Amino acid sequence: MKDISQITLRSGAVLPVVGLGTGNIGSRVRKPGGSREEVHTAINAALECGYRHIDTATLYQNEEMIGEVLHEWLSSGKVKREELFITTKLPNNGNRKEDVTKFLKKSLEKLQLSYVDLYLIHCPVGTKSDDDEVAYPLDSDGAVILDMTTDLLALWSAMEEQVDAGRAKDIGLSNFNSQQIEKIMKVARIPPAILQVEVHAYLLQRPLRALCQRHNITVCGFMPLGAPHRAKETDEFPLLLNHPVVTEIAGRINVTPAQVLLCHLLQHDIVVIPKSANPQRIKKNCQVFHFELTPEDMAALDALDRGAESRVSNLLYYKGITRHPEFPYHLPF
């Protein structure tokens, strides 16, 4: 199998193609008060078994806890800063040109770093919040308080300034659709290095990936296992980890269903950031370079794709969000 353990981005930065997703691990979003122990255990386990790519975001409310572990590893000499690839993201309530620097500086302070390797616009939808820690503020009716003036082109200019200032090595997009990407590409002085979107065997994002390939934008897939903690299982569409096609391949080649699903995406040149707080699963999820799926296996897994209807992270759990002019999922891709 060809060496797919890392790729080189447009900037020359080296990106490990398997990273640890940390969405809501230890955060107050998922657990009141958060859990330092949960985050520390997950990050330590990941670093100990070889992960060097860690993905977080202001929204996840765990940057500070991740930063504590990174500081301990860096200060003790167990890892060098240049060996790490750390991603964080601008929250929705920071989607204004004048707020980008403030939010990135806050993230760097929490992470105890002088720069991040990648800074993403987390979502094209802007919100208005009186509290910097609340990305999705709600009104008295429970609807998201939207900033209807979001200017993605001005926002991208502010993202470029973060590279100029040395606070981010690369910049990119998350949850953007094809039209929004094209708009950015027409004005970008520093093109997006990464598009991070939901990708798994049920949602292969073929047209969006083809667009990114034309623009030399690397695709990073979140929820690469189909989000078993959130997806709705039916008789017709079981959880991907339980799908007979996946389990048959896993049993035949003596790997886990998760490893099959991750390898499937890697062989499509998609970077993956599976989320887990379980040390055993974290270790298994990065052990995907010792086997290769056959063309027949790839075709069988490709045939599971059912398009946008399988999207788990559709943002519709935020009441009223579709009213925003930059809501990304009005388009098929």
- Mean pLDDT computed over 77-95: 98
**Is position 60 annotated as part of the catalytic site?**
yes
% of the chain beyond a pLDDT of 70? 96
pLDDT confidence of residue 172: 98
Question: What is the average pLDDT value for the chain, to the nearest integer?
Answer: 95
* Total Cβ atoms within 10 A of residue 114: 9
Q: Would residue 51 count as lying in a domain?
A: yes
Contacts of 101 (CB under 8 A, 6+ apart): 158, 161, 162, 165, 167
Note the pLDDT tens digit of each residue in 150-187.
Answer: 999 999 999 999 999 999 999 999 999 999 999 999 99
Please report whether residue 271 resides in a domain: yes
Report which secondary-structure segment, H or E, holds 8.
strand 6-8
Burial bucket for residue 115 (CB in 10 Å: 0-12, 13-18, 19+) = middle
235: confidence class by pLDDT, cuts 50, 70, 90: confident
DSSP states of 185-250 as a string? HHH-SS--SEEEEE-BTTB--HHHHHHHHHTT-EEEEESTT--TTTPPP-SSS--GGG-HHHHHHH
- In the predicted model, is pLDDT for residue 278 greater than 90? yes
Residue 1 confidence (pLDDT): 34
Q: Is residue 298 part of a domain?
A: yes
Instruction: Note the Cα 123 to chain centre separation in Å.
Output: 11
φ, ψ dihedrals at 70, nearest 5°: -60, -40
pLDDT at 237: 81
* pLDDT value of residue 206: 98
Residue 94 lies in a domain: yes
Q: For position 303, which CATH number holds? A: 3.20.20.100
Percent of the chain exceeding pLDDT 90 equals 91
3-state class (DSSP) for residue 119: strand
Question: Measured between alpha carbons, how far is 301 from 226 in angstroms, rounded to an integer?
Answer: 13
Confidence grade of residue 3 (pLDDT, cut at 50, 70, 90): very low
**Pairing relationship of beta strands 14-16 and 6-8 according to DSSP bridges:** antiparallel
Token pair, residue 263, equals 């390898």
Residues 91-97: what's their mean pLDDT?
Answer: 98
Query: Is the confidence at residue 94, as pLDDT, over 50?
Result: yes
Q: What is the DSSP string of 15-77?
A: EESB-EE-TTTT-TTTSTT--HHHHHHHHHHHHHTT--EEE--GGGT-HHHHHHHHHHHHHHT
- What residue type is 280 in one-letter code? Q
Q: Using DSSP, state whether 157 is helix, strand or coil.
A: helix
Q: What is the pLDDT of residue 10?
A: 85
**161 within some domain:** yes
5 within a domain of the structure (yes/no): no
The per-residue pLDDT for 2 is: 39
Catalytic residue among 60, 119, 202, 318: 60
Domain that residue 297 falls in: 13-327
Least trusted range by pLDDT, from 63-67, 148-152, 185-189, 329-333: 329-333
pLDDT at 34 over 60: no
Is residue 31 pLDDT above 70, yes or no? no
The number of distinct structural domains making up the chain is 1
Structure tokens at 132: 């910097």
Q: In whole angstroms, give the CA distance from residue 224 to residue 226.
A: 5
What is the token pair recorded at 139?
């009104």
The predicted structure's pLDDT at residue 75? 98
